[in-house]
Structure 1
């Protein structure tokens, strides 16, 4: 939480210096509020953590830095467009609902995994296959929730170019990590191969 607060204090100071009208946009404060809430609800992580398993292959860092860079780019697009007002219209409320819904999905997924949730690509002692809740339909609902949340945050700021870029780069980052995760899970977790045959990776009915 302190990290998120520190980041957003810095963001507000920078925006207040280079484009003060941005601080009057309710959408900016919506994004900040949900981002801070996400840090409260999610397990802690370290962007520069070195204690990764060999199976990770840099995928955690790729995901984290993709998130950081696309979120920064969304703010830059907001400044570049010099918006002095964004209407509190259907797009705003739909994007905010998507952010909250994505966070709720990710939090639900993390809670269901309990102690087996980890930032490392690993299978822990005694770990069992979880196939209830969102795991009944998709194998990586925590990634789906994160994807929805971060893309929706760009839409909320009307950073349309970065929203498309975030969707593409995050899907690629999650897809790469899933490949290594599932290769390990198939080898070490009983029943995972059959589980793959009846579920989707990220998006039900699509992928």
Structure 2
């Protein structure tokens, strides 16, 4: 738990507090409070990355850890900046808050389900751990990368909740780039290690969206 406090605080400061430096009153808005709590919950339910992990796993991770980290921060910055500085933190549509919050909560539940199902095989970087298996139960029976599906949904929910439509579009593209890097590296590693077992699994499941993609 203590090991997770530092990355949680660092992510919240860089991702949420930093873009609101010029509008600190926004930190007390219920949407930002909920977003902060959601971010903390995500970090609490996943293993904390070790300081040297990305470097140690560079051959298999192919810098995808840093892609995801950078794009995650930017995908918070842009919607928050749009909401705080261009929309003056005003809510226009009555449906945006409940719909955005609902998607955000769903994303957390789905991601936690994926992390718990994968167990000790869930890591911050692309790597093969001792006794690694191809998990095909729970959310992994629906898609091959459900934790990424959950994370993707969280940025969609955030954009809708803040009514930051350009920020939402930016997050969809930015996280799409980041997860393309991660999924490409991850599936290359898994196919190399598991061979036909992973190929067969990939043939009957989609990457992120059930039955679609």
Q: Fold-level match, TM-score > 0.5? A: yes
Query: Which residue pairs with 1:34 in the alignment?
Result: 38
Query: Which residue pairs with 2:145 in the alignment?
Result: 140
1:45-91 Cα shifts (integer Å, max 9, x gaps):
36885332302111111011100112112221122224243268322
Equivalent-residue separation in structure 1 for 2:113 and 2:150 (angstroms): 9
With over 3 angstroms needed to count, the CA separation of the structure-2 counterparts of 1:94 and 1:186, relative to structure 1, is same
> How far off its partner does 1:202 sit?
0.6
When normalised by structure 2's length, the TM-score is 0.86
What is the RMSD of the two structures over their aligned residues, measured on CA atoms? 2.4
With over 3 angstroms needed to count, the CA separation of the structure-2 counterparts of 1:47 and 1:201, relative to structure 1, is farther
With over 3 angstroms needed to count, the CA separation of the structure-2 counterparts of 1:4 and 1:154, relative to structure 1, is farther
Query: Which residue pairs with 2:203 in the alignment?
Result: 197
Question: Which residue, 43, 60, 66 being the options, matches 1:55?
Answer: 60
Q: Which runs of 5+ in 2 are unaligned?
A: none
Q: Which runs of 5+ in 1 are unaligned?
A: none
Question: Which residue, 122, 125, 146 being the options, matches 2:130?
Answer: 125
Q: Please say if residues 102 and 148 of structure 1, whose CA atoms lie closer than 8 Å, have aligned partners that are also in contact.
A: yes
Q: Are 2:201 and 1:206 aligned?
A: no
Query: Which residue pairs with 1:72 in the alignment?
Result: 77
Which region of structure 1 is more displaced relative to structure 2, 140-149 or 113-122?
Answer: 113-122
Equivalent-residue separation in structure 1 for 2:165 and 2:189 (angstroms): 36
Give the number of aligned pairs.
206
Query: Which residue pairs with 2:108 in the alignment?
Result: 103
